[in-house]
Amino acid sequence: MLNIKRCNIFHLNRDSRGSALVLVLVIVTVVTVIVNIMLIGSLLHLHLIKTDLYQLQAQYLAEAGVYKTMWYLSGRGGKDYRWRPKNEVIELPDGYVCTVSVEQWGGYLRVVSTAQYAKATKKLQVLVGEKPSFPFQQAIFIGGTDYPLVVAGKNRIIGDVTLGKEGVRQGTLPGTPFQSEQLVNGRIYRQPQPKLPYFNAFLLESTMTKNQLLLDNPQGQEIFHSQRFDQTNWPTFEQNLMIYVHGDLYITGEVKIQGPGTLVSTGNLIIADKSKLEGSLWLISGGKMIIRNGVRITGCLLSAQGDIEISDRCKIIGQLFSSGDIILRNHAEVGYPAVIYSVGTMQHDKIEGKIILQDQAIVRGTIIFCSKNHQPPPKKDETIVIVEKEAKVIGVIYSENNTTVHGTVYGTVITGKFFLYEPPTIYLNWLKDATIDRTKLPNGFLLPLTFTKTPHLDVVIWQSCN
């Protein structure tokens, strides 16, 4: 019995030795795996840090591409602001390269720059504008008349003023005593026969021309009747789609439409009821464009053959182009970098097309009125740009013709002359109850590319595409 037991025990012992070896192998394997994981972890960490570095290097190269492109667009390297490269490779210092594209976006240019460093690629999209030149350092620049600027009522003019040799005077209107502390809080530059600063409507006009072309040549998805988009049938844009409506187009019912894309309506275009439109959307109307009831529009171009009316706390970050009137009322706001452009057409000694801001409307950007082919001002005097009491412009007003300001302008007013109508009398180059303060224009404010032959460019908006 004893022998048998010993034999069994020895048998077990042999098994135990085998188990130990297996156990050692398992432990060695586990330890090796743990060590490898640790090393891989360290390598992965290094890889992530290097990837971050390459992304940063690619980012700065893409920025370099943007600035090199702006250098070309400023009229250097044998090119100018009309240069439109499409995925063109440009050379940077140290043998680096960058791919750039330029396209027009209303009054601005859109530059897309793509750069690669090691395995990292960075794509930047920027909106390019023009740095304000000398006339835009003034609070007021009057370039169409030798009449003196007559200041009446309670005005605040802070900043320099450039105007004709008659200078600035104090005036009194019936029932309205002069209440201003001083005529101008700044220097007054008098010039014989002052002229408006250089103005080139190339980009603005080509936007209007393209609108007309899109209206005249139906493309994309055509709808042969008036259409209403609401929450049940709002369009989704894919691959820069165009929807062309033969008739009126209504966008209502808190619709959310994301660009890029183009919406064309041969009739009126009405957007209402807290609808949201964003992305690079181009809205074109052959008739009127009416936007009301808390609509939010971001990064869009709005263009109408007829009037554009925006009201009821609608907020738009975009550019408005019209051959008719542009009217903002009831807390409507057009945010920076706004361009509001109306091209006036002379009809029976009267200019069609006005820009009117009422009821606490706000514009942050540039308001431009110019008559078609720069025709002389109409014989029948009337106001072309009106900033009414409680309305505000943070930016620039440029009007070849008459301007009336009863509200606030934080920036510059460049105009042919001021216009005041106190029934039954018309006062030419009078200013009443206005605030024009150049010092409150934010630093870095940029204009659309319209005011110099060789513009000094800068970036309005940066946007990373990856």
Burial class (CB in 10 A: 0-12, 13-18, 19+), 25: exposed
Q: Which is nearer to other proteins, 74 or 408 (CB)?
A: 74
20 lies in the binding site for other proteins (CB under 8 A): yes
Q: Which is nearer to other proteins, 50 or 374 (CB)?
A: 50
Closest CB 46 distance from other proteins, rounded Å: 4
The residue within the footprint of other proteins, chosen from 3, 16, 87, 232 (CB under 8 A), is 16
Inter-residue contact 303 to 285 (CB < 8 Å): yes
53 lies in the binding site for other proteins (CB under 8 A): yes
Inter-residue contact 174 to 153 (CB < 8 Å): no
Residue 436, CA distances (Å) to 335, 338, 448 in order: 19, 19, 21
Inter-residue contact 130 to 151 (CB < 8 Å): no
118 lies in the binding site for other proteins (CB under 8 A): no
Closest CB 147 distance from other proteins, rounded Å: 36
43 lies in the binding site for other proteins (CB under 8 A): yes
The residue within the footprint of other proteins, chosen from 80, 83, 88, 96 (CB under 8 A), is 96
What torsion, rounded to 10 degrees, do the Cα atoms 452, 454, 455, 457 define?
A: 180
Give the residue carrying structure tokens 């009336």: 404
60 lies in the binding site for other proteins (CB under 8 A): yes
461 lies in the binding site for other proteins (CB under 8 A): no
Q: Which is nearer to other proteins, 93 or 177 (CB)?
A: 93
Inter-residue contact 126 to 111 (CB < 8 Å): yes
Please report, in angstroms and rounded to a whole number, the separation of the first and last CA atoms in the chain: 82
The residue within the footprint of other proteins, chosen from 33, 35, 97, 213 (CB under 8 A), is 35
Q: For residues 188 and 167, what is the distance between their CA atoms, to the nearest angstrom?
A: 7
**What single letter denotes the amino acid at residue 89?**
V
Q: For residues 303 and 317, what is the distance between their CA atoms, to the nearest angstrom?
A: 14
Closest CB 38 distance from other proteins, rounded Å: 5
Q: Which is nearer to other proteins, 4 or 225 (CB)?
A: 4
Tell me which residue of 138, 147, 139, 141 sits closest to 381, measured CA to CA: 147
Which run of H or E residues covers position 433? Answer: none
89 lies in the binding site for other proteins (CB under 8 A): no
The residue within the footprint of other proteins, chosen from 56, 89, 118, 213 (CB under 8 A), is 56
The residue within the footprint of other proteins, chosen from 33, 76, 193, 465 (CB under 8 A), is 76
Q: Which is nearer to other proteins, 391 or 457 (CB)?
A: 457
38 lies in the binding site for other proteins (CB under 8 A): yes
Q: For residues 35 and 32, what is the distance between their CA atoms, to the nearest angstrom?
A: 5
Q: Which is nearer to other proteins, 27 or 213 (CB)?
A: 27
- Which of these segments, 45-53, 232-240, 241-249, 279-287, binds other proteins (CB under 8 A)? 45-53
99 lies in the binding site for other proteins (CB under 8 A): no
Q: Which residues contact 385 (CB under 8 A, 6 or more apart)?
A: 354, 355, 356, 367, 369, 397, 399, 401, 402, 403, 404, 415
Task: Give contact residues for other proteins (rule: CB under 8 A).
Answer: 9-10, 12-13, 16-17, 20, 23-24, 27-28, 31, 34-35, 38-39, 41-43, 45-46, 49-50, 52-53, 56-57, 60-61, 63-64, 67-68, 70-71, 74, 76, 92-94, 96, 456-457
